[in-house]
Amino acid sequence: MKDLIDKLEKNQILTKEEFVKLIENRTPEAADYLFEKARAVRHKYYSKDIYLRGLIEFTNYCKNDCYYCGIRKSNKNAIRYRLTKEQILECCKIGYELGFRTYVLQGGEDPFFTDNNLIEIIREIKQNYPDCAVTLSIGEKSYRSYKAYFKAGADRYLLRHETASEEHYNKIHPKELSLSNRKQCLRNLKEIGYQVGSGFMVGSPYQTTENLVEDLLFIKELNPEMVGIGPFIPHHDTPFKEFKGDNGELTLFMIGIIRLMIPNVLLPSTTALGTIDPNGREKGILSGANVVMPNLSPVNVRDKYLLYDNKICTGDESAECRHCMENRMNKIGYDVVVSRGDIKPKTI
């Protein structure tokens, strides 16, 4: 086990078989060894800094119907909402005062927001806060649209590939969605010049170890600036409500591997991790993550952006989350910094 982790640390990619062996035969001791190495690499690039991203969930309307997601269009029990441009800008204002220098505009795929609407919102945020980065997380769009948002000032784009196996992709998505289009979107985003974030769920229904290895190899090939991974958690109003959501330990192990695989990558310790374990976000950081994404959405909509059950922070004001996060990070010896938190260049 240790030999495989050492090999990864030396920046050598493992074969499919080696990755399967590493994941399937992992022990708590191997995990500790992995996390120690992952932290060392993380400290080399980012010392004990924690980068903040302010997450603004601006619409929970979605035209898609992914089987795992609580805001899928077929969920008639979801109470839908949209924020106005003014509400979004108000979130940015509150966020700026709290020390956020990156805003993540996340939403379902909601055609109500036209490209022109989005461009106006992006422009205005960048005008008001030229020292901040704007990250979009609004799903699959055309090359033209991606280009237009970029020209308007968007800096980064998050689009998890969800699973790099076509067979698995088709088991967790309706037939209207395809892995090939998703991958094409990621390539388009890179070509346009975005800092790109991909990622996947750990423990999603029907996922095999081989699927996880495919995710790792796809990420290695794509070489994104950010990788968002989190445990699958069932949502009670989806077709996957009966599936197990107990994937925290494996998620942490994957975080450790990804840190060694792409040493300088931006790696969030996700809300989903914090949802399945009260100390999940701290554990994510101690496994090699270096980013946290506290919620900046207005409190009255937070309990409506439910991708999965029991999501944390739905009753807290932005300021509470911001300070809670700082305390949590300080307790484990890390410092939340006021910075855009761009990726550091890779050294050999």
Q: How far is the CB of 316 from ligand FES (least distance, A)?
A: 4
- Contact of 132 with 100, CB cutoff 8 Å: yes
Largest CA distance in the chain: 54
Tokens of 44: 């080399």
Residue 265 has which token pair? 């990558």
Which are the contacts of 216, defined by CB distance < 8 A and separation ≥ 6? 19, 254, 257, 258, 261
Shortest Cβ distance from residue 325 to ligand FES (Å)? 5
Of ligand 5AD, ligand FES, none, which one sits near residue 155, judging by CB under 5 to 8 A according to partner kind? none
Least distance (Å) between residue 300 CB and ligand 5AD:
21
Cα(303)–Cα(324) distance, rounded to whole angstroms? 19
By the criterion CB under 6 A, which residues form the site for ligand 5AD?
68-69, 160, 162, 201, 230, 232-233, 235, 272, 307-308
Q: Which is nearer to ligand FES, 30 or 332 (CB)?
A: 332
235 binds, among ligand 5AD, ligand FES, none (CB under 5 to 8 A by kind): ligand 5AD
**Closer of 109 and 316 to ligand FES (Cβ):** 316
**The entry of ligand FES, ligand 5AD, none that residue 148 binds, CB within 5 to 8 Å by partner kind:** none
Residue 49, number of CB atoms within 10 A of its CB? 17
Binding residues for ligand FES, rule: CB under 6 A, are 294, 313, 316, 320-321, 324-325
- Whichever of 73 and 304 has its CB closer to ligand FES, that residue is 304
Helix axes 143-152, 179-192, angle to 10 degrees: 30
* Best CA proximity match to 277, nearest among 245, 255, 237, 303: 245
Residue 308, binding choice from ligand 5AD, ligand FES, none, Cβ under 5 to 8 Å by partner class = ligand 5AD
**Spatial distance between the Cα atoms of 110 and 335, rounded to a whole number of angstroms:** 36
- CA distance to 4, 230, 250, 287, per residue, from 26 (Å): 11, 19, 9, 14
For residue 116, count other CB atoms closer than 10 A to its CB. 10
Given the structure tokens 């107990």, which residue do they identify? Answer: 246
Partner that binds at residue 272, options ligand 5AD, ligand FES, none, CB closer than 5 to 8 Å by kind: ligand 5AD
Cβ 165 to ligand 5AD, closest distance in Å? Answer: 15
Find the shortest distance in angstroms from Cβ 152 to ligand FES: 30
What number of CA atoms fall less than 13 Å from residue 271's CA on the CB side?
Answer: 20
Cα(287)–Cα(56) distance, integer angstroms? 26
256 binds, among ligand 5AD, ligand FES, none (CB under 5 to 8 A by kind): none
Q: Which does 233 bind (CB under 5 to 8 A by kind): ligand FES, ligand 5AD, none?
A: ligand 5AD
Nearer to ligand FES, 94 or 324 (CB): 324
**Cβ distance to ligand 5AD smaller for residue 152 or 201:** 201
